[in-house]
Amino acid sequence: MTTTKKKKEEGVLDLASQDALQKQFMKERANRVLSSALSRTALSTVSFVPASVKDVNPAFSVEVKTMSVTNQRASGRCWIFAGLNFLREIIAKKLNLSNFELSQNYISLFDKIEKANFALESVLSLADRPNDDRVLAFILNDPVSDGGQWDMLVNLVEKYGLLPKSAFPETYQSENTRETDFMCNCRIRAFAALAHKLVKEGKLKEAREEKEKAMKDIYNMFIAAFGIPPKTFDFAYTDKKDKYHVEMGLTPLEFKKKYIGKEMSLYQSLINSPTDDKPYNKNFTIDYLGNVIEGKRINHLNVTMKRMKEAIIAQLKGGFPVWFGSDVSFYRDRDSFAWDDNAYDYVSGLNFKPDFDKGDMLDFKASAMNHAMLIVGVDLVDGKPTRWKIENSWGKTGGLDGYYVMSDSWFEKFVYQAVVKKDLLTEKEMAATKKEPTHLPPWDPMGTLAD
């Protein structure tokens, strides 16, 4: 009787193969040293390259002096903090202030409320689709979160105005948003399930009524958690000359009109997405992304990194910081101020590194914007940037009193968005921003939210 040896199934990682890999691993002295080091030490610490610090020396040839950093606490509101930090510099210049904060809680409250309404309306419009429809499933995965983008901030400021932090300070819930976000999303998903049944039965009026009930529940929860914002407030401040000033009975919209005016309409979002589906000098929007339904839709102009840097540098030279979005998941030294893609040598120990081609990283879900900050400085050598100064919103305990330095090579790889004055664009770029944008699906990486 003959037996036929069973053919090994392709792709199976069998025990014999693993045993061979392990033996090969143990033969290498470097592998044994690495294993010992990693048993008691973080991978990033073992891989750190001390010589890399020289590339992020905190000295800058162009620098915009800004006020003390803020702290978003245990919330993902970086885009709001960065945006309000930008706007407060405009107000501080007008009033000669040495330090000042706008109410992040005020904008955050209405962002939550508007996002919930936006999500409920989106769900209602898709209620006739199967529950596993890709668009509906994407929306329901995380309908209301802390994150956002520049144009979403513009919508909130234009609709609700601004007020000083002293007039509407933070609450525990505004600084710790996990639980209220969870409850809000539970309510939205419950509505989605009910709306699906009602629409299937042709009961559109009843579905709309249920949407209003859900919106009322969510509104009440966020008002209870974040507080009831004032209709009017008194704005008292002391300028750099120690002179006291007070303005009585302002509304948030009056405050915004007086001190910001139409300033936010003067800026354009630029993105750097070197992918085949996004030609340069074309503008894009993302479907089902937003907060204020009647507000301005997301509008990104895709440009080369060279053009993005030129516009950023020009704005800094003009005395204005730059709101920008990047991926801070890579090569960030948590123990210092330096963010540099040469700071960690993963290849020597692991034979690979976490990053690869920027366009491929976007296409294959390896990277996307996840954090917004302000660029407040750059060091130029022969007209070219070598490093950038960043104002973060993680408080003063990290970095250099809350400020960080990014090498230009890190900047090239992981910066995806910057908001600059429209008058810094070329005529061709400006014309492109006015054309009907190409619509991208909600899961496109340029639709990710900074938090």
CA distance 80 to 199: 36
CB atoms within 10 A of CB 238: 14
CA atoms of 222 and 165, how far apart (whole Å): 18
Angle at the Cα of 86 from the Cα atoms of 99 and 430, rounded to 5 degrees: 155
Nearest to 67 by CA among 38, 35, 95: 95
* Chain segment 197-241, per-residue pLDDT in tens: 999 999 999 999 999 999 999 999 999 999 999 999 999 999 999
Q: What is the largest CA-CA distance in the chain?
A: 105
**Helices and strands of the chain, counted as H and E runs:** 16, 13
- The candidate with the shortest Cα–Cα distance to 227, out of 104, 136, 347, is 104
Instruction: Reduce the DSSP state of residue 233 to 3 states and report it.
Output: strand
The answer to whether 313 touches 385, Cβ cutoff 8 Å, is: yes
Closest listed residue to residue 367, CA positions, set 378, 380, 376, 358: 358
Nearest Cα residue to 373 out of 431, 433, 451: 451
**Is the Cα torsion angle 437, 418, 66, 147 positive or negative in sign?**
positive
For position 6, what pLDDT does the model report?
A: 62
Instruction: Please tell me whether residue 379 adopts helix, strand or coil conformation.
Output: strand
The per-residue pLDDT for 336 is 85
H/E segment holding residue 250: strand 244-250
Cα–Cα distance, 363 to 276 (Å, whole number):
9
Distance from first CA to last CA of the chain, Å, rounded? 68
Which amino acid does the sequence have at 379?
Answer: D
Positions of the chain with pLDDT under 70: 1-8
CA 119/CA 139 separation, integer angstroms: 7
Q: What is the distance between the alpha carbons of residues 247 and 257, in angstroms, rounded to a whole number? A: 14
pLDDT digits (tens, 9 = 90+) for 381-417: 999 999 999 999 999 999 999 999 999 999 999 999 9
234 phi and psi, to 5 degrees? -100, 130
Indicate which residues carry an active-site annotation.
78, 371, 392
The residue assigned the tokens 């520049």 is: 150
Token pair belonging to 229: 């914002």
